[in-house]
Amino acid sequence: MPHPTDTTTALDTTPLTDAEVLLLRRDFPALKQQVNGHELIYLDSGATSQKPASVLDAERSFYEHDNSAVHRGAHTLAANATELFENARATVARFVGARENEIVWTSNATEGLNLIAYGMSNASIGRGGADAARFVLREGDEIVTTEGEHHANLVPWQELAARTGATLRHIPVDDDGALRMDEAVRMIGSRTKLVAFTHVSNVTGVINPVEELVRLAHDGGALVVLDACQSAPHRVLDLAALDVDFAVFSGHKMLAPTGIGVLYGRSELLDALPPFLTGGSMITTVTLDSSGYLPAPQRFEAGTQKVSQAIALAAAIDYLTAVGVDRIEAWESHLGARLVEGFSALPGVRVLGPGVGVHRAGLASVDVDGVHAHDVGQFLDDRGIAVRVGHHCAQPLHRRFGVTASTRASAYLYNTTADVDAVIDGMGAVRSFFGVAS
């Protein structure tokens, strides 16, 4: 059975080592291949991660043995499937410091954010009654987000503002991509009903000050939505301790398949928020004219659910836990620092976001003077190195940095120091290839 080496204890925060990483890498079938005549170096986990065999096996095993509809039917397979499905929820809940009824399955983080936005929208037109009063938005109310968000944590709020008449405001970032907390203090106040921000930036690797923002929001009575897409896969997350009201993340960025995501909400909020998608499996009594809804999480899980994906997500979490999320975080911190040091030393290469010496996640995006990101990515791909190019679904942030696109290298637990050195080396050769180095 392919399984991470049990080199850890719960409190171990020593970084992984290159030797351990090379062992882990064997668990990932997709990493064992050549691309353009080179061993694949996968540095695009910020977009989506590769999957270990244990996760693929879990999904396959479900279909081979337990496939059945959950929460319906009285037969044995249905009971087994339901148990696995709900156990997966419990696994996720433990992983992020939540209770089981605070974990809602979504198809991805984007759907989770839309679920909150549409729930609030529905509350704002009177759905959910008095219980949903705290979700009501109207003219004069404000939604605060930031200049550094992924479009998934921006566009739904734009639409929500447009539907309700609320005003959308943005905390700006400074030249290094850090939130301007002086502006945040001024902006977040009694009009603020919701503050939505990312934990870790998918472009700069900046780690935002969650506690401080939560305090500001809660002092004014606003709800907090945390985009944990780039944190849940990479660092220990205790959502209850962070005291956020809602959080979202996607399974595919944390070793699980596509099609499964998680919405966390404090249970009293989830039970009061009007549903977004409606239909089967989320109701109590249905008449021809109206229906009653189950409490959370089921009230948000209309229709046939993503069962095999949820089970596979639990297997992914088991894998991450066995390796030790603290150790992964420490390792990626090492890789991130090395990336930034390496990139910063190259002439004509500008790192977007925090510079050398500032704590960051294990990713870095760069602008290469005179060479478009798309060309940089193509050049690196020729060396078997997979990076992300473009605006990474964060156009406003790129505009802030005065560029339309950048090249991002993002690491995960299966990347070695040598992988990082290879992308730095490749980056160093880009400008002369394209004839722009002096």
Partner 1 sequence: MSGDLAGLYQQVILDHSREKHGFGLQPDADASSHQVNPTCGDELTLQLHVSDGVISSVTWEGAGCSISMASASLLTDLAPGLSLGDARQRIALFRELMHSRGAGIDDDDELLGDAIVLEGVSKYVARVKCAMLAWVALEADLAQLDA
Which one is catalytic: 79, 393, 429, 437? Answer: 393
- Residue from 121, 164, 230, 407 touching ligand PLP (CB under 6 A): that is 230
Output the smallest distance, CB 425 to ligand PLP, in A.
26
Whose Cβ is closer to ligand PLP: residue 391's or residue 431's?
391
Residue 231 binds ligand PLP, judged by CB under 6 A: no
Can you tell me the distance from the alpha carbon of 342 to that of 359, in angstroms, rounded to the nearest whole number? 15
Provide CB contacts within 8 A for 182, sequence distance 6+.
none
- Residue from 136, 160, 171, 229 touching ligand PLP (CB under 6 A): that is 229
Provide CB contacts within 8 A for 199, sequence distance 6+.
207, 208, 210, 226, 227, 228, 230, 231, 237
Whose Cβ is closer to ligand PLP: residue 108's or residue 333's?
108
Distances in Å between the alpha carbon of 183 and those of 84, 189, 395?
46, 11, 21
Can you tell me the distance from the alpha carbon of 367 to that of 373, in angstroms, rounded to the nearest whole number? 7
Whose Cβ is closer to partner 1: residue 304's or residue 404's?
404
Residue 202 binds ligand PLP, judged by CB under 6 A: yes
Distances in Å between the alpha carbon of 379 and those of 320, 428, 429, 434?
32, 11, 9, 9
Residue 232 binds ligand PLP, judged by CB under 6 A: no
Can you tell me the distance from the alpha carbon of 71 to that of 79, in angstroms, rounded to the nearest whole number? 8
Residue 93 binds ligand PLP, judged by CB under 6 A: no
Residues that bind partner 1 (CB under 8 A): 36-37, 371-375, 378-379, 382, 389-391, 395, 398, 404-405, 433-435
- Residue from 114, 198, 204, 407 touching ligand PLP (CB under 6 A): that is 198
Can you tell me the distance from the alpha carbon of 306 to that of 108, in angstroms, rounded to the nearest whole number? 11
| Percent of the chain as helix, strand, coil, to the nearest 5 | 40, 15, 40
Provide CB contacts within 8 A for 74, sequence distance 6+.
none
Residue 227 binds ligand PLP, judged by CB under 6 A: yes
Can you tell me the distance from the alpha carbon of 343 to that of 399, in angstroms, rounded to the nearest whole number? 21
Q: What is the 3-state secondary structure (H, E, C) of 376-404?
A: HHHHHHCCCEECEEECCCCHHHHHHCCCC
Catalytic, 393? Answer: yes
Stretch that binds ligand PLP, among 79-87, 145-153, 272-280, 357-365 (CB under 6 A): 145-153
433 binds, among ligand PLP, partner 1, none (CB under 5 to 8 A by kind): partner 1
Query: Quick one: 285 exposed, middle or buried, by C-beta within 10 A (0-12, 13-18, 19+)?
Result: exposed
Residue 108 binds ligand PLP, judged by CB under 6 A: yes
196 and 153 in contact (C-beta within 8 Å)? yes
Which x/- pattern, by CB under 6 A, does the window 147-166 give for ligand PLP? ---x-xx-------------
Which x/- pattern, by CB under 6 A, does the window 246-265 give for ligand PLP? ----x---------------
Whose Cβ is closer to partner 1: residue 191's or residue 372's?
372
Whose Cβ is closer to partner 1: residue 215's or residue 372's?
372
Output the smallest distance, CB 200 to ligand PLP, in A.
7
- CA-CA-CA-CA dihedral for 310, 316, 322, 325, to nearest 10: -100
Whose Cβ is closer to ligand PLP: residue 132's or residue 152's?
152
Output the smallest distance, CB 410 to partner 1, in A.
17
Interface residue list for ligand PLP (CB under 6 A): 108-110, 150, 152-153, 198, 202, 227, 229-230, 250, 393
Name the residues annotated as catalytic. 393
